[in-house]
Structure 1
Amino acid sequence: MSNARQVESFGVPWERDYGYVQAVKRGDTIYLSGQVAHDGTDLIAPAPVDDAGLVTDFSRTGEQLRQCYANAAVLLERFGASMDDVVEEVIYAIDVDAADAAAGPVRKEAYGRPDPQVASTMIGTPRLAFRELLVEVSFVARV
């Protein structure tokens, strides 16, 4: 097994601002940073927030979650991998009930099967990197 390190990024401003890469492959393992709902330029389905910066509507959770999985698939493909190679995911959610309602159908679609073969954890959190985000998903894949 090679110890060579390969990294991938999307080139979004927050990678530079915060200082990280989207994915690192070391040996046969690929680690994906938390994926959020963006298209490489803009946030996708941003949640509305009030004057205090609090989310006022969680109905876009499924749409954001779908984009998180789409972004993960793009990154994995750059390593010659796919969602079939994912062994673990962690979903971070602002509203666990909304995320739980959306996660089943979205995850089954993303993994292309009714019983995704992946260890999964969901964690509730008071907020994410951008106030308009409802979910973020990190992944570990083995190839």
Structure 2
Amino acid sequence: MSNANANKVESFGVPWEESYGYAQAVKRGDTIYLSGQVAHNGAEFVAPAPVGDDGLVTDFTNMGEQLRQCYANAAELLGRFGASLDDVVDEVLYVLDADAGNAAAGPVRKEAYGRPDPQVASTMIGTPRLAFPELLVEVKFIARV
């Protein structure tokens, strides 16, 4: 096996990496795969959504702030491989509310990619729940270097 095909992995050291059992990012050859990025800064969630007694989110207005943190975390991980968001070729956004996701994604994505027409394939999927109840969005990335 050649070294070019060896995996390099990166993690943040957050508790759920160990409990679930995964790496935040894996580079194989010229491709970097990022696990779904959520709004955390270490072990703390950023702009957690309020959750009712039934365990469901009661307000989606933090979608943009959470999404910004997802892109910041992705940029940090990519930087560890000498890459950046400019190298992203595909992303998938998982959102709890499609309307709130659509409203936040355009401006936040354009800001994150630094251009009015991000040159990245993008898919948005509505889902009833993410890994933690206070999360509104998770973003998975693939980058080529």
TM-score range, shorter chain: over 0.9
Deviation at 1:4, TM superposition (A): 1.1
Structure 2 counterpart of 1:19, from 18, 21, 34: 21
Query: Residue 38 of structure 2 corresponds to which residue in structure 1?
Result: 36
SS at match of 2:73: helix
> Aligned Cα RMSD in Å?
0.8
Distance across 2 between alignment mates of 1:50 and 1:40? 25
Please report how far the alpha carbon of residue 88 of structure 1 lies from its aligned counterpart in structure 2 after TM superposition. 0.1
Number of residue pairs matched by the alignment: 143
Long gaps (5+) in structure 2: none
Structure 1 residue runs of 4 or more that deviate by more than 4 Å after TM superposition = none
Q: Deviations over 1:37-76 (max 9, x none)?
A: 0001200000000011000000000000000000000000
- Per-residue CA deviation, residues 5-37 of structure 1 (Å, 9 max, x unaligned), is 100000000000000010000000000000000
Q: Distance in 1 between the 2:43 and 2:140 partners?
A: 20
Using the size of structure 1 for normalisation, the TM-score is 0.99
- Once residues 41 and 93 of structure 1 are traced to their aligned partners in structure 2, the CA distance between those partners, rounded to angstroms, is 21
Taking the TM superposition and a 5 Å limit, the aligned residue runs for 1:63-102 are 63-102=65-104
Instruction: Please report how far the alpha carbon of residue 106 of structure 1 lies from its aligned counterpart in structure 2 after TM superposition.
Output: 0.2
Q: CA deviation at 1:141?
A: 0.1
Q: Does 1:113 align with 2:115?
A: yes
Indicate the percent of aligned positions where both proteins have the same amino acid: 79
2:49 maps to 1:47: yes
Normalising by structure 2, we get a TM-score of 0.98
Gaps in structure 1 of 5+ consecutive residues? none
